[in-house]
Amino acid sequence: MSTLENRDLDKYATIHFCRKMATEAKINRLWINVGKEWYTHEEFPQAAERNKNTLYPFYTTYLIEDIKLRDPRTIIEKMNLRVEHIIQARDEFLRKVKEYYK
C-alpha cells in the first residue's frame, strides 16, 4: 500500500483482528480463508505478521471483507469438480491436436 488516508485504513484488518479471527477459528474448528489462501488457526497470525503494512505497522495488507472462516472440507468437492473440468478441457484439446496432426 502506498499512501493511505485514515478512512482507507478501516478496510484493512489489524493484527489484533487477525488474532481474534484465529481464536474464533480454533474454537469452531474452522480454517481462515483469505482470497485463494487457506490458513489454520496457528498459521494465520504468522501470515498476518508477514503481511504487515509498512506505513501502519498495526495493520495488515488483508482486506477485512476477504477474511472468512470456513470449513475446508466443503471446498474439496468444489475443487474436485474444477479439476475434472480442467482435465476434460485438456483431453478435448489433446484430441484436437492429435486429430490435426494425423
pLDDT at 3: 52
Same structural domain, 14 and 55 = yes
Same structural domain, 2 and 30 = yes
Distances (CA, A) of 14 to 38, 57, 73: 18, 9, 28
Grid cell at residue 95: 484430441
How does pLDDT run across 14-72, given as a tens digit for each residue?
999 999 999 999 999 999 999 999 999 999 999 999 999 888 889 999 999 999 999 99
Q: How far apart are the first and last CA of the chain?
A: 53
pLDDT at 57: 85
Same structural domain, 64 and 83 = no
Same structural domain, 58 and 99 = no
Same structural domain, 66 and 77 = no
Split at pLDDT 50, 70, 90, the class of 7 is: low
Same structural domain, 93 and 67 = no
Rounded Cα gap, residues 22 and 57, in angstroms: 19
Same structural domain, 5 and 39 = yes
How does pLDDT run across 63-97, given as a tens digit for each residue?
999 999 999 998 888 899 999 999 999 999 999 99
Same structural domain, 77 and 65 = no
Determine the structural domain holding residue 102 and report its residue range: 72-102
pLDDT at 102: 83
72: number of Cβ within 10 Å: 13
Residue with cell 474464533: 24
* Domain total in the chain: 2
pLDDT at 1: 43
Same structural domain, 59 and 94 = no
Nearest to 14 by CA among 54, 62, 50, 70: 62
Same structural domain, 17 and 34 = yes
